[in-house]
Structure 1
């Protein structure tokens, strides 16, 4: 029997035809996504569900979807899908992470032109029958310095377009290698240098704990006078109130924002300022982009339903059903190893190597590699998944390699992840115990036996007395409960890895650092079930 797919949101007829051309039965009902009751009634008939943003795939819908195998989201955002519930049901969730890149990059360029030449305000004035030619004195883009914060997929397209406009480009991206920067023809700089030099600044980073308010009040004060700022990435990257003050007093000449801290944005400190251009999150809103993501999701879903091929899956590794039962814990270990390295590495990564020893060396190493790289990349970009991670790594000029060897230690199998930057190498090893739980067994060459929890604390110090007492007392005084405490030492160096019940606040971390007994103090977060 041919697979059956429901398209419950507005997808192009061309995308719907792709299913039909490949022998898949498809029902195209673009109004169904907004009718929750009717969706619940019919969803049990279908093997696949193709959606945009209108259809809400809740745990209730998934419970009724007795035959569902795959959900395809035409676009990147999957906030309307309960991914954990889909995973528990064994339903693959796919998206199309790169379909909107060109459109978003072009919108950023358009916004840069708009704010440079005051086009929206000049248009309003002219529509009103005024002829205020002398009022709207703009600036050229040619020969100006563009500061790009985030040189990933979209940022690199903006850089390419900016070169065509004869702009000088500097980029800040902690994960941009010098080799990749050279290929892009961009000068790689630190953030403070970019703030001081850029005539225009455009942001192209995801919203994470590290990037939130990257243009803070403090950093806005460092900006070159007369700068213009463009944000078509994510709301929350810029302190909107501080920017509004800088725009009002003239330190910042203009701004163009497509995204806001709260959306839909009905109010913002940036609204109604004469030197600000605003649009309602239109970055991906072009006919071509909407068509591209629709075609991509139809192809991806067809491939999976007909051949089992998995592309851009958010909740499943690219492994066969037979492999999944054995590899599941090892894939989780690979992600944890990568997450540790990614959270501990601030400078650009040049190379990643994964060593597979013993029985694990006979598994699907491509999938394990992807899981490890995804763990690293997620530290800076939570949208990365196992499929997109190698693409992101390649864009950043990162070399990914693997090494295999026969059983060489006390464990039947283990994995060792090594990350190399221009300044150092960092390694961490782990294994899977007989209970199926991943464990860390070595960090920086120091042997440990550490259970992995959602919230952890990692410290390094000289091997001297009193460390356990300092950590225990400081955490205890601040109400932080320790679930597991692991220590290791070698040649005068010592490490501690603590599994705690809740995330540790920055004030508590500062108290630990203030003792002067630690070389490093780092909170870590892991995605554990």
Structure 2
């Protein structure tokens, strides 16, 4: 059955057609996103949800989204999506961070010109029949110092444009390296230094717990007299009450805001103040940008639903279509390894340690980690998946560590998973053969070669004669067919294991008969999703 997508906001017809051309069943209902009750009623019918900013994806909506696999936001901001709730539900949240970069950066530059030359007020005055040349004395941008808070994708473009305007650019960004700052031609500084030196300050960071009110009253009071503040990023980054006070006092010479702490902004402390330019969240509002992000989100969602490729996800590692194809068998292996340990472990898990060797170490380890953790978590939470598993593990306080190494043995690559509990460590390793089939190659340090089947039986015992006969005879007498039988031992007469691949689940009475022989230390039926 073809995946089904709901478009609940106004996306272009071209974007909707992309879904159809890719073989995806799509319902284009551009007004349903504003009706939370209707959205909750129908969301359970869809595998994907394509939105802009009007649709609010709340925990209540997600509660009804039993089929939903991916939410695609045509644009950068995902404030209207409860990402924690989506992750717990196992739903990927994607955005389109590059489709409107140029547009938003250009708007910031335009706002900077507007506040520097008081263009909106001068225009209104002239329209009113006045000719107030002396009233609207502006300042040049050339030679001024611009402080850029956040030098990522959009901030980086603003830096480039500002340098072309012959401005000196200071950049505050904890993730900006000295080398990249040098390549950009900007001076990397701390926030207090930027505040004290900048003639203009523009913000280009997301709204997070760390960035909320980054320009607080205290920070604004550290700015140099006559500074002009531009915010085309997110409402909530600036204390608007404090900024209004400093505008009234004359400490801040002007401000240009495209975003506000409460939107739609029908009332705000900045309104009606002189030399404050306000626009209604127009940063991404150009014909080109709206089309670009709509097309991009349609392509991204289609790729994921049809091939498993993950692009621009906010709650899962990105995986290209090529990676998804090559890594497919390894992702399955990682899940099987996790599932084996998860089914074998009854006590709480403290840590998960994952070793990648050879070819496996060269792959997308974040995605493989998610598959391992999902496999482990499925025993206690059958609905967990690659998205929700890391969230569940974190909630339980499980520490996850990853190690990679060059090829060290007979296999081109392998994955080894070890879990640590209060009472023991348990490990299993596996690889993918050239036929693309995952194999278990080591359990508890004992080498084996076992194909993975939907139904398996794992036993441990002392290495003594009669084990194979007992297992075979008991299974045969009870109508359980063995597809594959793998043995391994630590040493002659030492600990030994058997792993049987059987055609159907081993019935409980058969397990009881094997236990009654007294020959086995442990007998455990296992199930794997090999589809």
* 37-46 or 279-288, larger mean C-alpha shift: 37-46
Out of 312, 335, 339, the residue aligned to residue 325 of structure 1 is 335
Out of 433, 440, 449, the residue aligned to residue 420 of structure 2 is 433
Q: Distance in 2 between matches of 1:206 and 1:137?
A: 34
Paired residues of 2:354 and 2:415 also in contact (CA < 8 A): yes
Cross-structure match for 2:112: 112
Q: Distance in 2 between matches of 1:221 and 1:120?
A: 26
2:365 is the alignment partner of 1:368: yes
Q: Distance in 1 between matches of 2:169 and 2:284?
A: 24
Cross-structure match for 2:125: 125
Cross-structure match for 2:487: none
Aligned partner of residue 295 in structure 1, secondary structure:
helix
Aligned partner of residue 104 in structure 1, secondary structure:
helix
CA 1:404–1:178: 2 relative to 1, 3 Å: same
* Shift, 1:266, TM fit: 3.3
Q: Distance in 2 between matches of 1:209 and 1:363?
A: 36
* Shift, 1:49, TM fit: 2.4
Cross-structure match for 2:155: 155
Q: Distance in 2 between matches of 1:218 and 1:15?
A: 45
5 Å-filtered alignment, 1:83-482, equals 83-317=83-317, 318=319, 320=328, 322=332, 325=335, 358=355, 366-368=363-365, 404=405, 432-434=419-421
Aligned partner of residue 297 in structure 1, secondary structure:
helix
* Shift, 1:146, TM fit: 1.1
* Shift, 1:276, TM fit: 1.3
* 156-165 or 267-276, larger mean C-alpha shift: 267-276
Paired residues of 1:231 and 1:257 also in contact (CA < 8 A): yes
Q: Distance in 2 between matches of 1:227 and 1:308?
A: 49
5 Å-filtered alignment, 1:66-77, equals 66-77=66-77
Aligned partner of residue 19 in structure 2, secondary structure:
helix
Q: Distance in 2 between matches of 1:362 and 1:435?
A: 32
* Shift, 1:326, TM fit: 5.9
Q: Distance in 2 between matches of 1:106 and 1:327?
A: 50
Task: Give the length in aligned residue pairs.
Answer: 367
* 213-222 or 297-306, larger mean C-alpha shift: 213-222
* 244-253 or 122-131, larger mean C-alpha shift: 244-253
* Shift, 1:58, TM fit: 4.3
CA 1:68–1:143: 2 relative to 1, 3 Å: same
* Shift, 1:288, TM fit: 1.8
Aligned partner of residue 171 in structure 2, secondary structure:
strand
TM-score, reference length from structure 1? 0.61
Aligned partner of residue 268 in structure 1, secondary structure:
coil
Q: Distance in 2 between matches of 1:126 and 1:152?
A: 39
Deviations, residues 154-203 of structure 1 (Å, cap 9, x unaligned) = 11010011122121212122221111011001122232332232221111
Aligned partner of residue 10 in structure 1, secondary structure:
coil
* Shift, 1:405, TM fit: 5.9
Aligned partner of residue 433 in structure 1, secondary structure:
strand
TM-score, reference length from structure 2? 0.61
Q: Distance in 2 between matches of 1:97 and 1:371?
A: 25
Q: Distance in 1 between matches of 2:368 and 2:279?
A: 37
Aligned partner of residue 230 in structure 2, secondary structure:
strand
Q: Distance in 1 between matches of 2:106 and 2:174?
A: 24
Paired residues of 1:358 and 1:413 also in contact (CA < 8 A): yes
* Shift, 1:366, TM fit: 4.4
Q: Distance in 1 between matches of 2:184 and 2:128?
A: 44
* Shift, 1:52, TM fit: 1.9
Q: Distance in 2 between matches of 1:436 and 1:289?
A: 57
CA 1:437–1:151: 2 relative to 1, 3 Å: farther
Indicate the RMSD between aligned Cα atoms, in angstroms.
3.6
Cross-structure match for 2:22: 22
Deviations, residues 394-437 of structure 1 (Å, cap 9, x unaligned) = xxxxxxx9852689xxxx9999xxxxxxxxxxxxxxx8525899
Please list every run of 5 or more consecutive structure 2 residues that lacks an aligned counterpart in the other structure. 340-352, 370-386, 388-401, 409-413, 426-531
Q: Distance in 2 between matches of 1:305 and 1:185?
A: 41
Q: Distance in 2 between matches of 1:358 and 1:370?
A: 14
